[in-house]
Amino acid sequence: LVVGDVGDRALVDRVLRDHGVRAVVHLAAETHVDRSIAGPDAFLRTNVLGTATLLSAARAAGVARFVHMSTDEVYGELAPDAAPWREDAPLAPRSPYAASKAAADHLVGAWRETHGYAAMIVRCTNNYGPYQSPEKLIPLCISRALHNEPLPVYGDGRQVRTWLHVDDCCDALERVLDAGDPGAVYHVAGPDEVPNLAVVRAILAAAGRPESLIAHVTDRPGHDRRYALDASKIARELGVTPRRRLVDALPETVAWYVAHAAWREAALARLSAG
């Protein structure tokens, strides 16, 4: 493990060289939409400039396989009755975070067209599971439920997301790294489209807490109502089909956070400390 800044070219060069790196899975990113609205600069530095740095360094070091992790949010907002996005859908981000990730995707494409460096892009739906940052919806609500604190729900809570368990996400990334078509874009989507309010209610049920803890709060600016991805390409070409259903894996996730209280509290303390 090397702790450092993805935008530090000298450090990245040294790590790639000293460890003889042959493949890169680029997961380094600022990812929280609310924080991107409050302060976008860090998102531009890490997600855009950091991606450019890593692409340049990997190409210079002769790294043969490069997978860039992106997000469904680069497409913007999907209508309630619209078909899920395919990989060739136009990018139309609506938050600073999503815009920074879309810019990073365009950089990957630019390196392919300009330098012939055929990095791959994986766009996935919302992840959940063990060890997730407590600022994210599911671990945030789990922690608040376990402390008998209000669970904040933006607006009416009917924003729809497709939930992907981290185990399925990791399996997909490994498969793309091993066998993906150079320069290709792949979608990875969980099997369940669920409104946020339903997710929060399921967390409360799994934690044995009352729904009276739900607290509807003012919606954030530009909050996308729905995301959904067509993941038939990765299933067809690479045999990847995520299987963890939210109805089963969410109670397991709640149980994990209950069993790992020390980790959970330490993560919350780090988040509070900034």
User: What residues are annotated to the active site?
Assistant: 72-73, 97
In sequence order, the β-bridge partners of residue 25 are: 67
Residue type, 250: L
Taking the C-alpha atoms of residue 111 and residue 119, their distance in angstroms, rounded to an integer, is: 8
Distance of CA 242 to the CA centre of its chain: 15
Q: Could you identify the residue written with the tokens 């399925």? A: 168
User: What does the alpha-carbon distance between residue 187 and residue 231 come to, in Å, rounded to a whole number?
Assistant: 5
Which residues, including other chains, have CB under 8 Å from residue 71's CB and lie 6 or more apart? 31, 98, 101, 123, 124
Backbone phi, psi, residue 23, to 5°: -150, 145
Q: How many residues would you count in the chain?
A: 274
Residues 6+ apart with CB under 8 A from 164: 124, 125, 126, 127, 128, 188, 189, 190, 242
| Residue among 95, 166, 97, 94 at smallest CA distance from 125 | 166
